[in-house]
Amino acid sequence: MSVWSENSRAALLSVLILALALLAWELAIPAQQLATEMTEYERLMGGGSARAGIPAPSQVAVKAWEQLSNPFYDAGPNDKGIGIQIAYSLGRVLTGYGMAALIAIPLGFLIGMSPVAYKALNPFIQVLRPISPLAWMPLALFIIQDSEASAIFVIFICSIWPMLLNTAFGVSGVRADWANVARTHELGSLRTALTVILPAAAPTILTGMRISMGIAWLVIVAAEMLIGGNGIGYFLWNEWNNLSLANVIFAVLMIGVVGMALDLMFAALQKKVTYVE
């Protein structure tokens, strides 16, 4: 019998892969810096422009410590801590996501329980679903005329489809004999939906909600690059304009960490509602 569990071995392997990747990155920087210095020399000789070098992991770590040591400082409109920027992004995501859930889940129940509603609404869903969320941004800015509300609308429109379709699929997949038992006990439609169909479809609904949250977090970064002002997307774009590549890499890593945390939350919730025989 192995002393190390499967999870322990997987964690150890992950740490080793990370360490090797960081070591390779750190060792590759001197060669990259030499190439940058040669480019600078050629620029001075020929009047071209030089390109900033990629920072080493140690440099990124220094910037990360600077940002994380005081994440909620506020020194003006264009100078806020990473904690405040992430809070702005999460606020937009949760607002648009919540609005989408309020519409998608009840509508998904209707589509899943009614073949007529499915056939009537499916053409609209299939036309609107493939449209890129950012394609709605110009129209939203023109109609709403507010960048904050437009970003929330984009989150709403990208979040609604996975929740809607997964809810409809989960509801339609509930075993017919369970609904027949509810009818036998003379339960009303609403009570049947809440006490029989919802628990049975909950894992599939949460899968859709999990997918929607991942898409929403992806889209808000791009949306904030367009609208500016604040948010993790704006922070990343602003640091790029300032040629601070270490902060750009740090922002990319923070986007990944927050996205992973959101996904883990939904994974834990999904596990709680999944029935295991």
Place of tokens 């991942």: 214
**More confident: 113 or 95:** 95
Closest CA to 61 of 246, 235, 245: 246
Q: 166 with 114, same domain? A: yes
Phi, psi of 80 (to 5 degrees): -125, 155
Query: Are residues 115 and 160 both part of a single domain?
Result: yes
What's the rounded mean pLDDT across residues 62-79?
Answer: 85
Tell me, yes or no, whether 76 lies in a domain. Answer: no
**30 with 150, same domain?**
no
Domain tally, the chain: 2
Residue 43 structural domain: 6-54
Q: Element (H or E) spanning 98, and its range?
A: helix 82-113
Backbone angle region of 49, left / alpha / beta, with phi > 0 → left and psi within -120 to 50 → alpha: beta
Tens of pLDDT along 139-188? 988 898 888 899 999 999 999 999 999 999 988 877 666 565 656 655 55
- Same domain? 47 vs 130: no
pLDDT digits (tens, 9 = 90+) for 207-224: 999 999 999 999 999 999
Percent of residues, the chain, with pLDDT higher than 70: 81
CB 154 within 8 A of CB 134: yes
Work out the average pLDDT over 6-22: 87
Q: What is the CATH number of the domain that holds 146?
A: 1.10.3720.10
Least confident of 26-35, 105-114, 209-218: 26-35
